Amino acid sequence: MIVNLKPMKYFRLIPALLLGAMLTACNTNKKLYEAQQYDQVIQRLAPDICDGDINAKRINMVAASYHKANQADHERIQALKATGQPDVWPEIYQRYCSMKGRNDALKCFPREVKRGMNYVKLDIDDDMMAARNKAESFLVAKTEQLLKSGSKSDAEEAGKYIDQLRHTNRDNANLLNLEKRQMLYLFDKVDFGFQSDYELPNGFEELVFAFDANELPSGMAQVNVSRNPRNPFAYVVVDQVKLSPNRLDEVTFKETNAEKSVVEVTDHSQNKSVAVSGSIYYYLESDRQPSHSVPFEVTSTFKNDFTTIKGDREACSAETLSRLNSKPVPVPTDESLLLDAAKKLNDLIATELKK
């Protein structure tokens, strides 16, 4: 009879491995505690306590870590507030976040464990919100100040405050514009793409990106245009072009003077317009997907009013006589209106880049 003894060796080995792992974990937790890495201690041990692993040594270590970390944050917050400086609020907010995070990590503890470690729910939501608002205000103002200089070194420095703002509130209304402007001052050149499914006249695209020397602030990146840029900063995409037909609106009425002379007056209005709409898609993230878009619509409108009469000129009112100097003029072509819209789109983009 042959007996395989290998499985028995494995069974003897498993408890030894478990014991070794437990000892290693205990030593790691102790070292973290001694190094005052209190949040790491809580992160490692709190989930097991929430799951019912009631171990007195672990609970005591978590309780001590919790109270010491909160005490340190509270003292630091008070010291920062006492300075009265606006640049302290980002750190104050982050320390409030740490306190709330610890409090939330322990709220699932059994009731008797909470009572034993003097756990109470922290009421700091209002303080956190106030600190966040002040932190955002400081970070936005500091970034704006740095970007106004137009220098690369200040743009690099601004990136640190933009990172803090993103960490403080990713939904801040100013964040995307600050990120955009920082890139425009950080690089010598940025690539724009252009797309349209409409047949636009020759020179349209060139006019869209024909920025004058004084149109963009000093120090801002040069705009390079390509139909399919490898690393686009932004794409200008024309989604719709609306061309109105030539219109001639007319209104006819009669005027008389004291001598009862009559004149028939006709006011004419020549009208034609084009509307170009779409979006500017910005690529500010590394995944090369649009980070956000800004819709646009520009219009180019032709309008000419003139007046004609039939009858006695002496019967015309002073207002009608003043309009008789205007004459009908040739209606612009679709191409000329579209090229004028391209110039207006250029102005709109320049304004958008400076926001």
Q: What's the CA gap between 186 and 178, in Å, rounded? A: 12
Exposed e or buried b per residue across 322-345, where buried means at least 16 C-beta atoms within 10 angstroms of its C-beta: ebeeeeeeeebeeeebbbbbbebb
The answer to whether the beta carbons of residues 65 and 33 sit under 8 Å apart is yes
Please write the tens of the pLDDT for every residue from 195-229.
Answer: 998 999 999 999 999 998 788 888 888 888 987 88
Confidence of residue 255 (pLDDT cuts 50, 70, 90): very high
Determine the average pLDDT of the residues in 9-34.
59
Bridge pairing between strands 234-243 and 222-226: unpaired
- pLDDT at position 287 is 65
Same domain, yes or no: 161 and 304? no
218 or 146, which is more confident? 146
Of 73, 98, 122, the residue at which a domain comes to its end is 122
226, 174: one domain = no
In this structure, the strands spanning 234-243 and 262-282 are antiparallel
Angle ∠(207,273,226) on CA atoms, nearest 5 = 25
Per-residue pLDDT, 5: 37
- Stated as kind and residue range, the H or E segment containing 222 is strand 222-226
- Using alpha carbons only, how large is the chain's radius of gyration in Å? 36
Range in 180-194, 249-263, 332-346 with the lowest mean pLDDT: 249-263
Lowest mean pLDDT among 75-89, 138-152, 208-222, 290-304: 208-222
Interhelix angle 152-168/89-106, nearest 10 degrees? 30
Q: For residue 218, what pLDDT is reported?
A: 83
Element at 158 (helix H, strand E)? helix 152-168
Q: How far apart are CA 156 and CA 49, in angstroms?
A: 45
Residues 145 and 201 in one domain: no
Residue 345 has pLDDT above 70, yes or no: yes
Tens digits of per-residue pLDDT, 43-73?
Answer: 999 999 999 888 899 999 999 999 999 999 9
pLDDT score of 136 more than 50: yes
Q: Is residue 24's pLDDT more than 70?
A: no
Q: CB-side exposure of 217: number of CA atoms within 13 Å?
A: 16
- The pTM of the full predicted model, rounded to 2 decimals, is 0.76
137 to 90, 130, 131: CA distances (angstroms): 10, 11, 10
Share of residues in the chain with pLDDT > 90 (%): 74
- Shared domain for 218 and 343, answered yes or no, is yes
Residue 73's domain comprises 23-122
| 307 & 217 share domain | yes
Q: What is the DSSP letter of 174?
A: T
**Share of the chain residues as helix, strand and coil, in percent rounded to the nearest 5:** 50, 20, 25
- The confidence score (pLDDT) of residue 259 equals 77
Last residue of a domain, one of 74, 100, 122: 122
Is residue 17 predicted with pLDDT exceeding 80?
no
pLDDT computed for residue 10 by the predictor: 42
pLDDT score of 26: 60
Kindly report which listed range (18-27, 223-232, 249-258) carries the lowest average pLDDT score.
18-27
Asked, for residue 15, whether it belongs to a domain, the answer is: no
* Domain contains 5: no
Residue 76 belongs to a domain:
yes
- Other Cβ atoms within 10 Å of 64 Cβ, number: 14
Strand partners, 192: 225, 234
- CATH number for the domain including 348? 3.30.160
pLDDT at res. 217: 85
Taking only the tens place, the pLDDT of each residue in 108-124 is 999 999 999 999 989 99
Which of 96, 122, 148 delimits the end of a domain? 122
Residues 194 and 342 in one domain: yes
Rounded distance between C-alpha atoms, residue 156 and residue 185, angstroms: 9
Do 237 and 310 have their domain in common? yes
Q: Is 260 left (phi over 0), alpha (psi -120 to 50) or beta?
A: left
- Domain membership flag for residue 247: yes
Q: Comparing 207-216, 244-253, 280-289, which segment has the lowest mean pLDDT?
A: 280-289
Rounded CA separation 47/68 (Å): 19
Average pLDDT of span 260-286? 92
Residue 12 lies in a domain: no
- Calculated CA dihedral for residues 210, 213, 214, 218, nearest 10 degrees: 120
Same structural domain, 182 and 196: no
Residues 73 and 109 in one domain: yes
Total domains, the chain: 3
Q: Are residues 39 and 77 in the same domain?
A: yes
Amino acid at 103: N
Higher pLDDT, 183 or 287: 183
In a domain, 82, yes or no: yes
Asked if residue 33 is part of any domain, the answer here is yes
Using CA atoms, how far apart are residues 175 and 45, in angstroms rounded to an integer? 37
What are the tens digits of pLDDT across the range 295-325? 999 999 999 999 999 998 889 998 999 999 8
Q: Let me know if residue 9 belongs to a domain.
A: no
Q: Which of 137-146, 312-321, 325-334 has the highest mean pLDDT?
A: 137-146
Using the predicted structure, report yes or no on whether residue 286 has a pLDDT greater than 90: no
pLDDT of residue 230: 84
Say if residue 319 is in the same domain as residue 340.
yes
Same domain? For 114 and 178 the reply is no
